[in-house]
Amino acid sequence: MARRLRALPPETQPYGWAEFQRRGLERARIRCGARRMTGLRRAVELAAGLVLAVAAVALWGRLGVPTDAEVGGEAVLPRVGLVAAERPGRMRPGSPGYPRDPAGPEVQVSPVERWLASQPDDPPLVRVGAGAAVEGLEDRIAQLDDEISAGRALRARPARLFAIQQERAQLVSSLAQVRYAEDLAAAAR
Amino acid sequence: MTRLVDIDVAAEVLARAQAGDARAQAEIYAAVAPATFTLIRRIVGERALAEDLFQEALMSLYQGLAHFRREAPLGAWVRQIAVSKCLMFLRSPWNRARLRLELADAADPSSAALLASLATPAPRAECLDIERALASLSPTARAVIWLFEVEGYSHEEIACAFGKTVSFSKSQVARAHKKLREWFEPRGAKETCSTI
């Protein structure tokens, strides 16, 4: 059987080099066009999704806003939007498990950071705007902590380290303000 | 028939092709194209489909040529690409749906014409018979038997290529042998070919 199969005559190539190149260019052009259309379609879908999401949030906000009569005439912060999200436990600056710089001297945890660490874990339902702000600030603070650790390990210029530490302190202060505002809003609901 | 795995090009031609020399690339095309098309054509059966996969395979070859380190003959690498393209096609849901439709028509007497159309016109009647015998196999069986008997793949290599076990390869080869023998053993009233 193997002998019979091997005895089959070979096929001639279906076309020459020039035709192969031509077909290759044609396929590349088609793929490029298809990719562009796919990208455009995705952009349109994304835009439509965003519009729908904003409309849904606005509608939900309108439905959720209590009237002045309900709260005795006091102004109440409207619910910006509630998103059910899984928030994995996030390490906060100052919390016991938060990574400290092993190379540098033991840094005193500031009172602000101690207060932040004492805050309860985020509930499953978070406000979209504030939640995003808190996460962004925490991410940036963690990033600066990494830069400080690396700077100390590599013996960076003291002025540079000082500037990063100053920025970190400002961000920690901002984070504390956002969390405090969240606490006030939660208490007012 | 020269196997693809036995084809190689001179180091100088390869170097020029990798540098972008169109003439060297054309030389490589001339060296590997016939054997590549033969391999693909034997595995997938249909000529139009084989041309499509042939184009894809050689385009992949030229796209990756700069990274080819000559650890094996160029033909071995081209063979790997071509077999991979064929098997990807055979595994595609679209192809499986298409084959289901074709099998549904298999009972139709006019399907003999379909089988005949799959064969490349060959100068000898025996070759035409072998072509038809191959065309009567399932695409998987055809691919396995060709890789095993002609391309020299081991059962382990076939199993790896298909993502299956060695037993799969052995059983496919055994079944294909049985079916091919039924084509070539002397038959009484049974026709081996039908008029077109």
Contact A9 B127 (CB under 8 A): yes
Contact residues on chain B for A17, CB-CB shorter than 8 A: 25-26, 29-30
pLDDT in tens, B14-51: 999 999 999 999 999 999 999 999 999 999 888 888 99
Any A CB within 8 A of B154 CB = no
Closest CA to B11 of B70, B61, B86, B89: B70
pLDDT in tens, A10-45: 888 899 999 999 999 988 888 777 666 666 777 777
Size of interface A-B (CB pairs under 8 A): 67
Any A CB within 8 A of B54 CB = yes
Rounded-to-integer distance, Cα B195 and Cα B111, Å: 12
Q: What predicted TM-score, i.e. pTM, was given to this entire model?
A: 0.54
How close is the nearest chain B Cα to the Cα of A7, in Å?
A: 7
Rounded-to-integer distance, Cα B107 and Cα B110, Å: 8
Residue A12: half-sphere exposure toward Cβ, Cα within 13 Å: 5
H/E stretch holding A18: helix A17-64
In which region does residue B45 sit, left (phi positive, over 0), alpha (psi from -120 to 50) or beta (all else)? Answer: left
Which residues in chain A (9-68) have CB-CB distances under 8 A to chain B?
9-15, 17, 20, 23-24, 27
pLDDT (average), residues A99-119: 63
Which amino acid would we find at residue A79? Answer: R
For residue B90, the tally of other CB atoms under 10 A from its CB is 18
> Which of A81-95, A110-124, B132-146 is the least confident region?
A81-95
Contact A14 B26 (CB under 8 A): no
Contact residues on chain B for A22, CB-CB shorter than 8 A: none
Contact A6 B145 (CB under 8 A): no
pLDDT in tens, A65-91: 555 444 444 444 444 444 444 444 555
Any A CB within 8 A of B145 CB = yes
Rg of chain B over all Cα atoms, to the nearest angstrom: 18
Strands (E), A60-179: 82-84, 125-127
Contact A13 B58 (CB under 8 A): no
Q: Which residues pair with A126 in a beta bridge?
A: A83
ipTM for the complex? 0.76
Contact residues on chain B for A23, CB-CB shorter than 8 A: 55
pLDDT (average), residues B6-13: 91
In sequence order, what are the residues at sequence separation of 6 or more whose Cβ sits closer than 8 angstroms to the Cβ of residue A78? A61, A64, A65
Contact B38 A20 (CB under 8 A): no
Structure tokens at B19: 């540098």
Contact B33 A13 (CB under 8 A): yes
